[in-house]
Amino acid sequence: MPNQPRRTRRLTADALWGYIFIAPFVVVAAVFLVFPIGYSFYLSLRETTLYSSWYNQFSDMVWMGAGNYVSLLTSKVFWYSLLATFLYAALLIPLSLAASLSLALVLNNQRLPGYQALRSAFFLPHVFDVFVVGIIWLLLFNSTSGPFASLFEALGITWFKVHGFLDNPVTVLPSIAFAMVLKGMGFGMVLFIVALHNIPESIFEAADIDGASPAQKLFRVTIPLLRPMILFLVVTSLMGVLNGFTEFYAMTRATGGPSVSFLGETVQAGRVSGLHLYRLFDESFYGHAAAMSFILLVIALLITAVNFKLLGDRSQ
Amino acid sequence: MRSSGVGRWSGPLSERKRRGCPDQRECRRQPPCAPVWQAALAGLVRVLSCAGFLLVAGALAAAPPARLTLWQGFKFSEVPMLRRNVDEFVAEYRQRTGREVVIEIGQVPFSDMVKRLKSAALARQMPDMAIIDANSMVQLAFGGVALPLDTLPNFPAASIDELRARYVPGAFDTNVITFKGERHLYGLPAQTTTLALFWNKGMFRAKAKELREAGLDPERAPRDWDEVVRYGKVLTEPSKNLYGFGMNNSFWFSMPFYNQYGVEIVRRNEAGLLEAAFRGPRAEAAVNRRVGLYREHGIEGGAWREGALDPDQGFLNQRYAMILVGPWQIENFRSSGLDFGVALVPRVPLAEAKALGLVPPDADENSTAVHALSASNIGGQNIMVSTSSKHPDIALEFALHFTSEKVQRAWAEELGQIPILLAAQQNLKLDKFPEVPVFIEQINLAKPLPALPYGGVLETEIVNPEMNLVLQGRQTAAQALERICAQIERRVLKPVNDAEMAARAEIRAKTPSGN
């Protein structure tokens, strides 16, 4: 094998060029991704004190070790924030999927007059800023003068007029989920329409020949074939819910909404993990906030791993 | 001085002898008989000295001006007045000291000021001065960015208390902070506010007949909380979304109730350490009085809820007939064509005040003690000097100029502000702002929030959520107060007390033994 040393040299040179080409991206990633993550972890092991100098806030922190993690994991407010997040996810994701899929099935019918305009109209809220949408919904849900409370009152239901939508611990999460479903369903609709287009027509023709009813075609053919898209939307929505903050900030005026008693501790009903993290950061508890972000990262990684497993099994 | 000069001219005796002076005494009185080259050299030295002096003087004259930055979060309508004050100060300072000063004004949103200052401190870009929320002052002092003004050589009084006598006491007190066992003045009040009762005259007039039938005068505001309930019951019509009263659930907005009932939030114990004091019959009575307006009497429109029509908007929309708000809303309400009046915050009813021991048993409606029951709260802004300022003395002078009588009078007469200097509260021309005298009377009955670090935690994380539960009817006042006290102790006071104990131990360690 006389050529082998020469080939190795050529490979090494190729590899070198490869490294040179990716070097700028590695540097950028190291500076803006790896270092902040590492530094955040370092911060999660420290905490500011009452006398931490504002000139050296991050270097003037005291060593806590795992103290911040222990403190969080023994905090009822933290556990409530996780519970609220998963409750919100349980409300938002199925509703969002159902609404998106329904819209996609209806607007996939190209014989429907104005279907393109309707698609645009339903997609439009997705491009608006979450904060702006949240403020609009805050006005719509106003219990004193909002249209929803008045509508229910006109229908003889005065409960919302008295207790409100965002003012009540029972309804605050469903109300926010409802607003976000309406905002996000246009995006899901577009993805489902694309997925529907990818289903071969021959499968539906075969179902027709077999005498399948429309409902059977939907539940036995369409939905099973849309499962990869459904799983994709579930994964991305879960990540979105774990990072959910702006809608809660806007619609509860940054407080988390009405109070509720949870295992003897008073917490705000709409205090999801993203909002709790923000409050910790806002009150300058940087160590706790960093520790919480790592706990959320672990949860997000676990959820992603489970979903990848499901997606992987399905594709095989 | 003169004799030494003669001696210098006379030179040593041997030299005079050598020059052949006939009379040595006479020679002492004569200028030296120096050679020409020496005279020329001396002349050259003189010329050079003069030139040097002129150069130094010129350099001093061309020295760059002292540059200071001032961050403020005033309303845009107030900024021109601030610019005028800055220009006046700069001119006056130049005339007095011959030195040029430049003060650059930076506009920062009021609600973002503390966050921006934190970032600025980290980036070593702190302004020399900042006008900040009075309740945030303690954070800046503990964070080491606010300079103790009483340590500056040009501090204008012999003591903090001497200076305090010139200002609205409550507003001044928001600047006096005990830090590591030392009490210092970290700023001066720049603008002060308080809550008073705003009442919608139109809504009162619309129910004039019913109010008269109930024995109430529709042409005036209620004076105590029992009257508020009586007025409110006539004015409230839930079917039309009309309510007698609208209130905010925030701790700061609730402070008039606690101040009127003589409730302390925290106090120092015998050991000099802080302890929670927000409990007891008076505190419970204050909470029940406030909550009762909504739950018991139904005259409050639910404005305390986050998702409801807030008090200001509800007052503007003529949904709430009475609210507690500050002077910052006057212009807004007036420009909306609202017919409204301003009165002192309704006080604790006399009988209840006597039962709780808030006034002497023989006090009557006209006594000073009863008048003082209309206590409100203190807000506003303070001017602080940064510890990184290169010109803290000039910054202090500007702060004193800004709080001077002339400037404060102008702010009151042209912008309707409450003067923070007591002398400036006298003989004001307030034709444009007839409501201001009520606010001046109210501010002098007001008390500030306790100066505690983690003030944000106290309000948003501790008191507001617990009070929300009371307003929902899910816990009693006593339960809420116990939970609040427990959390104040654990989350707010413990770090302060621990730090104070450490500071005391440090002082003891430094003190020589035997003392």
Residues A100 and A30 reside in one and the same domain: no
Which residues of chain A neighbour B317 with C-beta distances below 8 Å? 145
Question: Measured between CB atoms, which of B117, B314, B469 is closest to A261?
Answer: B469
A141 and A261 part of one domain: yes
User: From A285, which residue of chain B is nearest by alpha-carbon distance?
Assistant: B454
Please report, rounded to a whole number, the percentage of residues in chain B having pLDDT higher than 90.
70
pLDDT tier for residue B302 given thresholds of 50, 70 and 90: very high
Give B196-378+453-500's CATH code, choosing from 3.90.1150.10, 2.70.150.10, 3.40.190.10, 3.40.50.170.
3.40.190.10
* A156 and A184 both lie in a single domain: yes
Together in a domain, A124 and A272: yes
ipTM, 2 dp: 0.85
User: In this structure, is residue A131 part of a structural domain?
Assistant: yes
Same domain, A139 and A271: yes
Residues 35-74 of A with CB under 8 A from B: 49-58
Q: Are residues A56 and A163 in the same domain?
A: no
Give the structural domain span for A23.
4-63
Inter-chain contact B309–A166, Cβ cutoff 8 Å?
A: no
Domain identity same for A256 and A234: yes
How far apart (Å, rounded) are the C-alpha atoms in residues A279 and A285?
9
> Domain boundary residue among A63, A85, A106?
A63
- Mark whether A170 and A271 lie in a shared domain: yes
Is 60 exceeded by the pLDDT of residue B58?
no
Task: Encode chain A (316 residues) as per-residue pLDDT tens digits.
Answer: 445 555 566 668 888 888 999 999 999 999 999 999 999 999 999 998 888 899 998 888 899 999 999 999 999 999 999 999 999 999 999 999 999 999 999 999 888 898 999 999 999 999 999 999 999 999 999 988 889 998 999 999 988 888 889 999 999 999 999 999 999 999 999 999 999 999 999 999 999 999 999 999 999 999 999 988 998 898 889 889 988 999 999 999 888 999 999 999 999 999 999 999 999 998 889 999 999 999 999 998 898 888 778 766 655 4
Q: Do domains B66-192+379-443 and B196-378+453-500 have the same CATH topology?
A: yes
Domain contains A316: no
In a domain, A298, yes or no: no
DSSP string for B397-417:
HHHHHHTSHHHHHHHHHHH-P
Task: Tell me what pLDDT residue B331 has.
Answer: 87
B380: how many CB neighbours lie within 10 A of its CB?
Answer: 25
B124 lies within 8 A of chain A by CB: yes
Q: For domain B66-192+379-443, which architecture applies?
A: 3-Layer(aba) Sandwich (3.40)
Nearest chain A alpha carbon to B486:
A265
Sequence-distant (≥ 6) Cβ neighbours of residue B485 within 8 angstroms:
B276, B277, B278, B279
Does A110 fall in a domain? yes
Query: DSSP labels for A73-97?
Result: HT-HHHHHHHHHHHHHHHHHHHHHH
CA–CA separation, B279 and B184 (whole Å): 29
Q: What is the total count of domains within chain A?
A: 2
* Residue pointed to by tokens 């806590």: A64
List pLDDT tens digits, range B246-270: 999 999 999 999 999 999 999 989 9
Contacts of A166 in chain B (CB under 8 A): 305-307
Shared domain for A109 and A13, answered yes or no, is: no
Cβ atoms of B423 and B405 closer than 8 Å: yes
Contact call for residues B214 and B204 (beta carbons, < 8 A): no
What average pLDDT does range B146-162 have in this prediction?
95
Measured in whole angstroms, the distance separating CA A273 from the mean position of its chain's CA atoms is 11
Q: Is residue A247 part of a domain?
A: yes
Verify that A44 and A169 share a domain, yes or no: no
The residue extents of the domains of chain B are 66-192+379-443, 196-378+453-500
Q: How confident is the model at residue B8 (pLDDT cuts 50, 70, 90)?
A: very low
- pTM of the predicted model as reported, rounded to 2 decimal places: 0.84
CB contact under 8 A, A144 and B457: no
pLDDT of residue B149: 96
Q: The domain spanning residue A190 has which CATH number?
A: 1.10.3720.10
Are A126 and A234 in a shared domain?
yes
**Residue B295: burial class (beta carbons within 10 Å; 0-12, 13-18, 19+):** middle
CB-based contact, B117 to chain A, within 8 Å: yes
Domain check: are A161 and A47 in the same one? no
